[in-house]
Amino acid sequence: MQLRKLGNELNVSSVGLGCMGMSFSYGGQEEKDAIATLHRAIEIGITHFDTAELYGPFENEILLGKAFQGRRDKVTIATKFGYKYSDHGKGFDRVLGLDSRPGNVKAAADASLKRLKIDVIDLFYQHRVDPAVPIEDTVGAMADLVQAGKVRAIGLSEASAATIRRAHAVHPISAVQSEYSLWSREPESEVIPMCRELGIGFVAYSPLGRGLLTGKMDQSGMLSREDWRLTLPRFQPQNMKANENLIKSLNEIASRKDVTAAQISLAWVLHQGNDIVTIPGSRKIQHLEENTKAFDIDLNDAEIENLSNTISSRKVVGKRYSDQDLSQIDG
């Protein structure tokens, strides 16, 4: 697996692993199966693992803490902070709102270190920009954590170009994480160019469209009732029906290359620049192994352009998030 740089501090596998679905939002899975997948990921060369205090909440960090015991030198662990929680309820019901006040930043880091059973967080992200707290104050607290040796590098998630510039002026930002895929292209206009100007790595989450760009999902009720994706516009039956032709075209392009739709979707993202890494989620070892082969797929300029035009965000029906979730997106 080729390594790519995130800022000046980190070298990570070009295909990482988004761990959220193992514990949160997508229905989760048995702990033993999740740990087996995490161990297999290390075996095949994945070094970059992405989690957050939100995922559970807290359960996903605990899972990784168990899985990576004795394997710490083989993994780069990224986690995120930025919410306040109730002591009651389950999942999203426990989330009370955003909180990126300096005191919470530092308390969240200490709690994540304990759950992950590590001495230092490799990459510590602000999960969502908190409009109630100046980004300079939040990043100042994150910088204090770096100075204290509790964090190696810091990042932002779903931040606007203007916020990225302000944050980077306080302390170097190593990575910006945003949703980016064939049919979620918003970062291309301002965020990715800003990252390149400042030497910041870009981490593409949901590069497979939360599963839709695997070409295997349909309207047959394959998602469990507790799966959070059922609340998203693109997963509503009428929108899935409207997007069927896009997925059909993607499968046809992939078939001509003798690869899967998931693999060619990931390959397209990786071909957008050597400063971009991906963190597709996977709960099954088979899918994990398939995803890591995406880096080996060679796409020429004509093929990249064909994919870009065929599965463009202009053609997709449905927003990537609900209006409530979009209200937390910076900018």
CA distance 232 to 55: 17
Query: What does the pLDDT read at residue 224?
Result: 74
- Spell 233-268 as b/e; 16+ CB within 10 A means b: bbbeeebbeebeebbebbbebbeeeebbbbbbbbbb
- 154 beta partners: 124
Whether 55 is catalytic is yes
Distances (CA, A) of 301 to 187, 306, 315: 20, 9, 21
Summarised one tens digit per residue, pLDDT across range 178-201 is 999 999 999 999 999 999 999 999
Contact 37, 284 (CB under 8 A): yes
Contact 15, 280 (CB under 8 A): yes
Summarised one tens digit per residue, pLDDT across range 94-104 is 999 999 999 99
Summarised one tens digit per residue, pLDDT across range 233-245 is 998 989 999 999 9
CA distance 233 to 15: 27
Domains and CATH numbers, the chain: 3-209+269-297 (3.20.20.100)
Query: What does the pLDDT read at residue 150?
Result: 98
Stretch 10-35: mean pLDDT, rounded? 89
Q: Quick one: which of 62, 56, 67 has its CA closest to 116? A: 62
Task: Read off the pTM.
Answer: 0.95
Summarised one tens digit per residue, pLDDT across range 209-228 is 998 999 877 654 567 777 87
Contact 24, 56 (CB under 8 A): yes
Catalytic residue among 26, 55, 83, 180: 55
